[in-house]
Structure 1
């Protein structure tokens, strides 16, 4: 594991500050809004949240047109000089994916307004959606360190887990929008295509840098343990509670669709389980109790089977693969932090992976024996 004094686990996912000037944004949106509303529009408030994303950027906006106030969120693709986490950002595709899910399921989603693929108005593509009130389990500090989720009762947390899993099953019921997804190439299965794209992302992230032997060993493990796949569905991709707005313990808005894909539903089920384990392990590293009874592996699998009629298979594989996906993302985030002088280059590149010990234990088949 990395030296705990060198990495603050609550800061690893700290979003970067915006590189866009609020007054410039306001002026540009003042010019752009009337072109889509078809009438005069006034921006009454514009704010860039301090906890902004390392991928697409979020702008909070209040505007009025046709004598009606609108509470909006603008999602903007990152600027090239921000050294983005991912190599490409297709926000118009995200907009159309959300639109597709909204029109074919009862998944709770923000109201969509407009997508602007032309980069000229704000320097990058963007889209607007309605702002939804509620609470989100925080990443910084992680919700397992103390949050509204640790303060509610055990029964309430079971309700949160249950309604979340029901919503995940609902996402998987959407017709697959093949025109909006990267489909397998000749001779590929959806899972093999997913692994290929992860390899391509890692190759891009490690270009010009020393790679991670642990990540490369993880890819070898995946190749050796690929299971027989269940039927592919539309996967959300970033299926975690930190991407959900809750009211009264139930999801009211599912956010962040940039990792959506065509693949086995177990990809999402495993990601939900693993991301909680990631935050739970961080809490235990810090000497905190966290939430060991929340989103437990078998509980999630059973609840998903009840909601969807499909019993998740091969979760040992899919949760380990989720840990590998997260390792590649963490490697990229740490590379980015080193680039901006926010972190030092480690002697051992595997120390760029905060959950190094977890991934090592999973590859060795020893992780779950140590879980309380």
Structure 2
């Protein structure tokens, strides 16, 4: 009796005859192969249908995914030329992975489903903290160059500082475009898992989380009068209408972008992502550049005063999105405050390991205490404007 049991390669639609891959046969050049999956959750609240077809006679591979939840239907379709790797079941954002042939499959729709941001694809998740001390993702490698932090790109002697004004303007516009695309393209409901806990709107919860982080940093140590004054000043400047929350990048700065030439090739470092008003990202982008620029000027170099200027960033963002940034005095102060908490945490960590001592004035542990104080007093942007 013939053995009709399947073999692992039968998981893949790469053969053109209705037989297991254990049999030798001549396929019909006009035939095609396909796989279709119907997935139901245990409660019957969702239905997922995924299909993928391989058409060797016309050199095409296509796929679709349809998800129904309640009365809402989401559909994705993709088609492309059939490549040389017939074992790779992927087209566009959709792919099928045979983790254990004939036992377990994984159906994947990549993030590009909602956005065309250049984010490297996630290849693997390692949940064992052994190798690096914490669970981690492995992403695709992207070639390019990154504006340096040490020494910062605002100092002389690096590729961005050496670029022409026109090249830096191009990079600036493209970088603001990252924020515009992220904020406009990703539906907030798809990022609901990033909503911060607590009472109030998204901005209130965001600031509350930062205050909790500050309280953790100073637990058992000297508090910072400057940071606490900045929190008080935020309350005085609080936006009348914070605006609807969007998916924010969080650490939105050019030092977290890989550039090919002067075009963004990869957007990295998403650990601070959250649902928040658009201006949270814009304020961080503007202030983090000012942080590096001010530091450079302190050491006697001119820096890059005309790069990532607040007025130009706001105008470019409004042009791309139709949304005019609001309450930017609040949001740039908030960015400087958040960065101050990080700086204080770094300093107290050095104290913990005996690498530094706490000075009489703990505010001096904050590298940008001068600019933060000027923001609290309302004088920073008067002297910063060209």
TM-score above 0.5, yes or no = yes
Aligned counterpart for 1:135 among listed residues 115, 128, 145: 145
- Computed over aligned residues only, the root mean square deviation of the Cα atoms, in angstroms, reads 2.0
What is residue 269 of structure 1 aligned with on the other side? 282
What is residue 211 of structure 2 aligned with on the other side? 199
Post-superposition CA distance 1:341-368 (Å, at most 9, x none) = 3333211100011110101101111011
What is residue 134 of structure 2 aligned with on the other side? 124
What is residue 149 of structure 1 aligned with on the other side? 160
Q: Which secondary structure does the structure 2 equivalent of 1:144 belong to?
A: coil
What is residue 161 of structure 1 aligned with on the other side? 172
Aligned counterpart for 1:108 among listed residues 115, 118, 128: 118
**Residues 121 and 334 of structure 1, relative CA distance in 2, 3 Å threshold:** closer
Larger helix share, 1 or 2: 1
What is residue 271 of structure 2 aligned with on the other side? 258
Q: Which runs of 5+ in 2 are unaligned?
A: 1-108
Contact kept, 8 Å, 1:184 with 1:190, in 2: the verdict is no
**Residues 218 and 100 of structure 1, relative CA distance in 2, 3 Å threshold:** farther
Q: Which secondary structure does the structure 1 equivalent of 2:271 belong to?
A: coil
Q: Which secondary structure does the structure 2 equivalent of 1:294 belong to?
A: coil
Q: Does 1:215 align with 2:227?
A: yes
Contact kept, 8 Å, 2:192 with 2:275, in 1: the verdict is no
TM-score by length of 2: 0.68
What is residue 236 of structure 1 aligned with on the other side? 249
In structure 1, distance between residues paired with 2:117 and 2:279: 19
Contact kept, 8 Å, 2:195 with 2:202, in 1: the verdict is no
Larger strand share, 1 or 2: 2
Q: Residue 101 of structure 1: CA displacement?
A: 4.2
Q: Which secondary structure does the structure 1 equivalent of 2:118 belong to?
A: coil
**Residues 134 and 206 of structure 1, relative CA distance in 2, 3 Å threshold:** same
Aligned counterpart for 2:341 among listed residues 328, 346, 370: 328
In structure 2, distance between residues paired with 1:321 and 1:153: 32
In structure 1, distance between residues paired with 2:164 and 2:359: 41
What is residue 332 of structure 2 aligned with on the other side? 319
Of structures 1 and 2, the one scoring higher in RCO (CA 8 A, sep 6+) is 1
In structure 2, distance between residues paired with 1:335 and 1:253: 33
In structure 1, distance between residues paired with 2:250 and 2:110: 16
**Residues 130 and 120 of structure 1, relative CA distance in 2, 3 Å threshold:** same
Q: Which runs of 5+ in 1 are unaligned?
A: 1-98
**Residues 194 and 242 of structure 1, relative CA distance in 2, 3 Å threshold:** same
**Residues 231 and 101 of structure 1, relative CA distance in 2, 3 Å threshold:** farther
